[in-house]
Structure 1
């Protein structure tokens, strides 16, 4: 869909370009990732939290001393999946990513549970900026608040202070990274919400357990971060048909471009609907699949794993495992991968970090936006009721073919982005 295969003949990615995966970590032992992950630069900014303050399980038992995992470890799987989309190696086995020639750096800010708290996120962003990363992918929102509001009447005073602090801290960190030359890519989220009219939020705070309460969300004073933060390229998700996936958030104020995120129900009325092939297949840690029963002790994919689309491939570097997932979390790394190709093709030597390439992030974003494949709104309001969704999934599509709330400037196009006339 994004012509990454054709783009590879022009630019497969330059090793001097570094992409930070701000996520749950990267399993650097995976055979498709081992050659591309710089474990020397990778860092873990998270201490595992076995239980939250109420006693409810959060990350579970610690696997390593002092509850600090190695920088090349991933106990959630999300970061490993994202990393494979960006830059799984093109080595004749397994899968390959959008930019298989670039370098991956794990800047872990996520708990084993998948939660992404403020301090690790800020630490990871500023570290990534300081070491000269070219692109940082952010497929998450900053917990525990889905929306951070400046002065929501439903929030007690201490919650308002916490959210204002999050807005200020994340905004400063994003500004800092942008000024240091980092192209910032973020997922818009999976709440099937028009972020320009978010309505209510009954899910926050999501930690500690049992603390959520309902509140109305004001678009003018509440932000989904980091996607709605400064300088972030916001990405919505489409299914194989190119239609906005039913779960994907959207909004003409927030979306920059769209990218494949998978959509299980796509292809309604055809044999392809509700198939794992409608999702995004990418790298995944073997240990997690064994723990879930999808892979047995000997490394074979079980019947339940096969039913859920789990695959394995054994090559010269060992056996790799692959899982199909869907979400704007999968769409954002497609854009991050194309951004890395743009820097690879048009970047210049970085005087601050010898041996690296660099390119102004505003220029990278301009190339992505200008070369995206325009896509018109399929209807003023897109309904997903035939796919079995309730009417609250109906999604108004404002704008025109040049720019609209479902696709932004269009679906990202890797081949067009690395073409000679893209500058």
Structure 2
């Protein structure tokens, strides 16, 4: 999943301000901001720094007008204000903007969402997809049985969670929508367009939702990541290509990736969760981590602000009936440990190695409260060699692919086959690929139990999962079978699989 990954634990304690946010709520006004300065003149401030994007998180007991005036006085321009959660997105070239605004009454936290200046860049392709060849497609079609999609013989992942059997009972309800918060979804793909919800789709890059026709699609020559994810969730049973876990539900594209980089910044992701909350989406799929910090440490004021803003956004979505599902990550980290080497942060300028405690520094959104954390497995049922894990962190597991675990399928490819750009199909592996299997099963559960709350859906996910217990062996990154000494727990809950591998058939019974 390239940089695209995510993880989660339940040890995160909400700061006092966020606890107030959850219990009291913020102003019941629209998300549109007032004039940045409220008509007041601004004092001279430095503008010789790089133009950065910031989030300013307000307390629920102060007027946002006071904060808006302070933002303008500090050289900030308001991009948008999510008043229901007290998060304001600001641009400023004042190098002291964050430091200044943090001292304003009514501001709980504030920080830059990036370390690189705002800029326009050319688009690039991730280059991590292996396209299905015509020969492989022909072999699969020849092996397809009655009622199967032409490429379904190559979908070992669907059989691993009994999605093929579940489809005979319930494909999922068209009244349930999964929002794919990602690099965009190509709704013109023949296997996606029947199940795509345009009304629930948007481009949130920059922090403001754009619903212009096609704005939710990937950039020209951009990443196929979100399109691959969408196909795993809900590719239609239409006699074409592949099938999704829940081919009867809807998918929406919520694009949050910066052009040319596939970086997912806080202002865009906050917009994505708020959009999902306010547009009737029942499940979100989050196969990424929020850039530029792999882990966001509470003792760093900028990183704490990002953590605060995204906690508010995910909790708001949850209160609105959204279950958020996120990937555990591809670095083989034990997220239950107290010491992890993070060599990749910040990833938008020059990263430097740092040691973090994932109980104090959080990968978001996967480590946020209420978010379902997903680890990955291969065709043999082993944890995928790359998948991060952790006892008390991983909630459930699902097929994400593993190049060392090879299926006896026509293509003999251990990765996950799904929809990609230009009407094609391709293979990817990662916890990014495991997560949409869980989102799809969650959508089936919501279809079966339409009145279930997000918390109830999460418990149902855990209850229907099948836990094989800790294995004795696991593949390492070199393809060698080694002792699975890092797996802690038992056949009820363990660090590799959480409560177990999701099972679509159990979900629809």
Quickly name the TM-score band, shorter chain normalised: 0.7 to 0.9
Pairing 1:260–2:399 present: yes
How many Å separate the matches in 2 of 1:179 and 1:72? 28
Which of residues 97, 105, 108 in structure 1 aligns to 2:244? Answer: 97
Which of residues 349, 362, 371 in structure 2 aligns to 1:232? Answer: 371
Question: Could you tell me how far 1:111 is from its partner in structure 2?
Answer: 2.2
Question: Could you tell me how far 1:68 is from its partner in structure 2?
Answer: 11
Question: Could you tell me how far 1:19 is from its partner in structure 2?
Answer: 0.7
Other-structure match for 1:171: 311
Question: Could you tell me how far 1:69 is from its partner in structure 2?
Answer: 6.9
Pairing 1:339–2:479 present: no
Assess if the C-alpha contact under 8 Å between 1:85 and 1:334 holds in 2: yes
1:223–1:97 Cα change, 3 Å: same
Which of residues 346, 354, 360 in structure 2 aligns to 1:205? Answer: 346
How many Å separate the matches in 2 of 1:71 and 1:203? 28
Other-structure match for 1:249: 388
> Any unmatched runs of 5+ in structure 1?
49-66, 152-159, 287-319, 349-358
Pairing 1:278–2:414 present: yes
Other-structure match for 1:60: none
Q: Which moves more between the two structures, 107-116 or 68-77?
A: 68-77
How many Å separate the matches in 1 of 2:405 and 2:235? 26
Question: Could you tell me how far 1:220 is from its partner in structure 2?
Answer: 2.2
Question: Could you tell me how far 1:177 is from its partner in structure 2?
Answer: 0.7
1:131–1:215 Cα change, 3 Å: same
Which of residues 365, 370, 377 in structure 1 aligns to 2:470? Answer: 377
* Aligned residue-pair number: 342
Q: Deviations over 1:185-217 (max 9, x none)?
A: 000000011011252111100003xx1111111
How many Å separate the matches in 2 of 1:103 and 1:132? 11
Largest Rg, 1 or 2: 2
Q: Deviations over 1:238-291 (max 9, x none)?
A: 000000000000001210000000000115xxx969x762100000002xxxxx
How many Å separate the matches in 2 of 1:126 and 1:328? 24
Assess if the C-alpha contact under 8 Å between 2:270 and 2:310 holds in 1: yes
Other-structure match for 1:217: 356
Assess if the C-alpha contact under 8 Å between 1:26 and 1:106 holds in 2: yes
What RMSD over aligned residues (CA atoms) do the two structures have, in Å?
2.3
Which TM-score applies when normalising by structure 1? 0.77
Pairing 1:327–2:327 present: no
Assess if the C-alpha contact under 8 Å between 1:87 and 1:99 holds in 2: yes
Assess if the C-alpha contact under 8 Å between 1:272 and 1:278 holds in 2: no
Q: Deviations over 1:287-337 (max 9, x none)?
A: xxxxxxxxxxxxxxxxxxxxxxxxxxxxxxxxx310100000000000000
Assess if the C-alpha contact under 8 Å between 1:382 and 1:395 holds in 2: no
1:395–1:382 Cα change, 3 Å: farther
How many Å separate the matches in 2 of 1:102 and 1:72? 19
Which of residues 107, 111, 118 in structure 1 aligns to 2:258? Answer: 111
How many Å separate the matches in 2 of 1:238 and 1:329? 12
Q: Deviations over 1:89-141 (max 9, x none)?
A: 11011111001111111111122422111000000101100112100000000
For the residue of structure 1 that corresponds to 2:506, the secondary structure is helix
Other-structure match for 1:131: 279
How many Å separate the matches in 2 of 1:68 and 1:36? 17
Assess if the C-alpha contact under 8 Å between 2:385 and 2:477 holds in 1: no
Question: Could you tell me how far 1:70 is from its partner in structure 2?
Answer: 1.8
For the residue of structure 1 that corresponds to 2:233, the secondary structure is helix
Other-structure match for 2:196: 37
Which of residues 153, 158, 168 in structure 2 aligns to 1:9? Answer: 168
Pairing 1:361–2:454 present: yes
How many Å separate the matches in 2 of 1:120 and 1:417? 32
1:68–1:110 Cα change, 3 Å: farther
1:181–1:245 Cα change, 3 Å: same
Question: Could you tell me how far 1:174 is from its partner in structure 2?
Answer: 1.0
Q: Deviations over 1:135-165 (max 9, x none)?
A: 00000000000011112xxxxxxxx222101
Pairing 1:145–2:302 present: no
For the residue of structure 1 that corresponds to 2:195, the secondary structure is coil
Question: Could you tell me how far 1:219 is from its partner in structure 2?
Answer: 2.5
Question: Could you tell me how far 1:376 is from its partner in structure 2?
Answer: 0.9
Within 5 A, what are the aligned runs for 1:373-412? 373-379=466-472, 382=474, 384=476, 387=479, 396-412=486-502
How many Å separate the matches in 1 of 2:203 and 2:431? 24
Question: Could you tell me how far 1:32 is from its partner in structure 2?
Answer: 0.4
Pairing 1:22–2:158 present: no
